[in-house]
Structure formats: C-alpha cells, structure tokens
Amino acid sequence: MARDAPGGDSCEELDQTKYDADENVKIICLGDSAVGKSKLMERFLLDGFRPQQLSTFALTLYKYTTNVDGKNILVDFWDTAGQERFQSMHASYYHKAHACIMVFDVQRKVTYKNLNNWYKELREFRPEIPCIVVANKIDADMKVTQKSFNFARKFNLPFYFVSAADGTNVVKLFSDAIKLAVAYKQNSGDFMDEVMRELENFELQKKGEDSDKEENYPEEKPPST
C-alpha cells in the first residue's frame, strides 16, 4: 500500500492544492522503465518541452496549457524519473491525479505483464480516474497492431497503439487524456475526493462557528426529501 500518507511531510515542496482549482488538472504516467514515457511526452510537447526536474522525488513535471470547450486548462503531466524501478510509486504521485496514461513496450512482454501491478496500485489510490492503456514503439514492428491485447478490454479501458518515434497517435493520446481528465474533474464521481472535500469543509466549519453546526453540515443529498 502507501509508502506514505498522501500529502505527507515529505512532499512539502510539492504543492498539490492547486489541483483543486477548476482550471488545473494533473495527469500521471505509469509504466516500466524504458517503455518510452518521457519520449512520448517530448513528442507531444515538441518546442513547448520544458520539464521541471524534481530529483528528490524522482519526478519530472511537464506543464502544458490548452483550451477545452472554450476554457483555459493548465495541465501538469507527471512523469517518473526512475521511481518506477521500485515497482511502486510514492503515494503523492497518485494524489489528486485526474487521469492516468499507462504505457507498455510492444517489444517487451514483461512490461505488458507488469501493467497488472501498475493498474492495481493505481486503483488503490485512485479508484475512479480515467486510465488509458498505451502500446508504444509500434514503429519497431507494425505487425503488432494486427494483434489483440486483452488487458485493456478486460478492464474496459481505452487502448491506443502509438509510436513516440514516428508520432503515430501521440497527439491524439494526450488530447484525449486531457479531455478525460477535465471531464472527470467536472463530474468527479470519485468517492474519495468527495469524502476529502467534505472532511475539509467540516474542519473549516468547526473552526468557524460551533453554533449552527447541524444546519451547515455539508450534505451530499439534495435538501428536500
């Protein structure tokens, strides 16, 4: 499970409260070493490629601004910088993520097999966020695109064949991931998110006033019954 509680002291420098703002989304990349996660990011961002290395967290952040349905959206892509070699990511990596891009290398079976572990860990922390499964390096052997990969179908996840080298479906992958992240955020059905939000509200109110606690207690259900 978690190696540390979300938002624990060890991540003080990493301010993740901004991800609560409507226009900010966080998208995480998962997958084994050398499946091409960073290469995909670089291909998508091209000139706008300016990663922020946070070596203490074995983490690379890529910032990206875009427009979804007429709204400006600031995207933070989280990419690992070797942390995946622990076969597990720090809890703060998953914290407040709105979508996940999960990558394997079509040339290496072990990276496909390990999707199972990555997916399990993802769901421990983020049970509901959209997750896209990505088969990278199809340029190495186009024949693989004629084959079926059941992992995505089994969990009912979107599945893309891509190549960071020749660019096939890279832009589509990232723009779809952003749309999914924004949509998720707008109708966040994530139970944990709601629980967290309620807890935060509850704390604030306790600090504020103690008197009409009953009436102010945040309710999820509509008031009329």
Site for other proteins in 14-73 (CB under 8 A): 32-34, 36, 39, 46-47
Judged by beta carbon, residue 36 or residue 130, the one nearer other proteins is 36
Q: Are 83 and 56 in contact (CB under 8 A)?
A: no
Site for other proteins in 73-132 (CB under 8 A): 82, 84-85, 87, 107-110, 112-114, 116
User: Which pairing describes strands 131-136 and 99-105: parallel, antiparallel, or unpaired?
Assistant: parallel
Residue 3 within binding range of other proteins, rule CB under 8 A? no
**109: which residues sit within 8 A by CB, 6+ positions away?**
none
Q: At closest approach, how far in Å is the CB of 191 from other proteins?
A: 26
Q: At closest approach, how far in Å is the CB of 165 from other proteins?
A: 4
Joined together, the tokens standing for residue 129 give 């966020």
Q: Are 85 and 33 in contact (CB under 8 A)?
A: yes
Task: Fill in the amino acid letter for 154.
Answer: K
d(CA 113, CA 151) in angstroms, rounded, equals: 9
Which position among 4, 50, 53, 171 is part of the footprint of other proteins (CB under 8 A)? 171
Helix (H, G, I), strand (E, B) or coil at 54: strand
Residues of the shown chain interacting with other proteins in the complex, contacts defined by CB under 8 A: 32-34, 36, 39, 46-47, 82, 84-85, 87, 107-110, 112-114, 116, 137, 139-140, 144-154, 159, 161, 163-172
